[in-house]
Structure 1
Amino acid sequence: MTESGPLALSPAMSDALARWLETEAATRDRSDHTITAYRGDLLAFLSFLGGYLGEAATPKSLASLTQSEMRAFAASERARGFGARSLARRQSAIRSFLRWISDREGFDLSAALSARSPKYARSLPRPLTPEQARGALDIVSTGHDTPWVSARDVAVMTLLWGCGLRISEALKLNGSDWPFREALTITGKGGRQRQVPVLPVARDAVAQYLQLCPWPLVADEALFRGVRGGRLDSGLISAALRKARAALGLPPTATPHALRHSFATHLLAAGGDLRTIQELLGHASLSTTQVYTGVDDAQLMSVYRAAHPRS
């Protein structure tokens, strides 16, 4: 579905969409992946409106949107095979755009915005156990023919597991961030900054990598380098963990992001409180962090069912 198809956007709508995406990227620190997804969400919605209303959607035509059009779009997406979770995510992007454009154009879209999103059961994160995480790091430490590359991969993964960083956050670190102090200042989603304590094991892993790395440490250049000296690509960390996953027989959910999940889950199991974990992870809402209590409860019930004499 493209803007040049039979239901092409009007120039005014195309301009509005581009401006909204620019605003999301600039003020909310959305990733390129998220902006691409948002663009697809809005093109799907606006193209649907063009067919439903019989003419290309314009900013002014959106002023008359009601729950009826929103429900019709949801029904159309379900008919195309969209599940509740995917549809809820798509509708969230659409609502953000509609709120933005209603403020910009000065009309009231409360009727359309009152349409409910589909309910769905949030899937629980799937962290690694401490033993699985240690085993994966052990394999990664010897997983590459070039020792400094192995040390680099271990250092990145140790930051994910030991500090709860997103992989994008770890790979944004520059030479000026080293040497690590007691805590790192991390800028996460939405431009939110947080202080993340650095464990000695993480500091030692990065120090070992830097000792072996053939590239000089430069203040305004990447801390973690690719073999050609550029900023490390996250896909290489995923590939290293994928090899370790295969060697250990771990499920496909054992990804770099699962190491961040592991940080939160292991901290909660050790007695950490949700508010502190929320701050360490950089979650905007406590409800996002609360999903980890479900992981802890699920693990507890698994142990109970396996061990209880009446099971």
Structure 2
Amino acid sequence: MVRRHSITILLLLAVLLGVLPAAAQEDAGCGTPLALGAGSHINTRPGIYIRNLPTRSGGIAEYLQSSLTFRVVDGPICADNLNWWQVRGPSNINPGWIAEKESPAGRYLIFKADVDPATLCPEPLNFASGSQMPLLNDVRIRQEPGLNALVLHVAPQGDTATVISGPTCVDELNWWQVQVPWQGIIIQGWLAEGRFGATFVLDPDLPDPDAICGPAMRGLSIGERGSVNAIDNQPKNLRAAPGLDGALLYSLIEGIAFEIIGGPVCADNLNWWQIQIISRPEVIGWLSEGGPGNWAIDRFTQDRLPGN
């Protein structure tokens, strides 16, 4: 009986000695973390992941192709024998957790950095004082630039703000001082142009969607002659100005010859040419060249003349 009791004690000791040191080793395996805290800034190595949880099994929130600077929000948390830091960076990068090292004995992936917070914003959009800023989302208008500033108003999607000044970089976001209308009054405050890769306002440098055209028809130029192509049996409209809103002057039938005297001009996603009707020189207007499968213009060639 005494022997059985001794064996039981030895088994319990073995379990305790086997379990407790293992847990202690798991915690100790993370090692001493870097001297960071909330508000510290770090630089990263290129080619690392930001995860949505502090563990290797966390989902990938972002892949960093280049070295970037981040602000520490929380941490460290020990998991997978690694110290993890919750970070927030430029507004076009998703926040999340970064491991301090690539492996417990591997190289560091992050380094403490002394930086000017005003340099942590992405390149701002190209707005000038007095510019009109169409809003793509409901946007908070704040008393001062910064996420903790008092919210004065929420400007609805579709409204247009007028830029007063900016940008100012605060909380890794570009802020613009703007004026927005609301129920007959003007509210002045600050809005962020975007966050987490989303842009809240329309980029002023985007091309006009109505002014995007392919290359003009080959062989057409001022001084060249052509004829109307109405192979689809639909007359082609000659307009007073380039664009579908131009006043209709005449409907041109197949084979009418003309000389090109201007253009091309891109309007409504079409290339337009100013032409002069050869048989009636007083008739001048703008004709769309059409597009593949429905060209409205035929070039003159030596082996093909109008009517032949």
TM-score, L = length of structure 2: 0.23
- Structure number with greater CO (CA < 8 Å, separation at least 6) is 1
When you count helix as a share of all residues, which structure comes out higher? Answer: 1
When you count strand as a share of all residues, which structure comes out higher? Answer: 2
TM-score, L = length of structure 1: 0.23
Larger Rg: 2
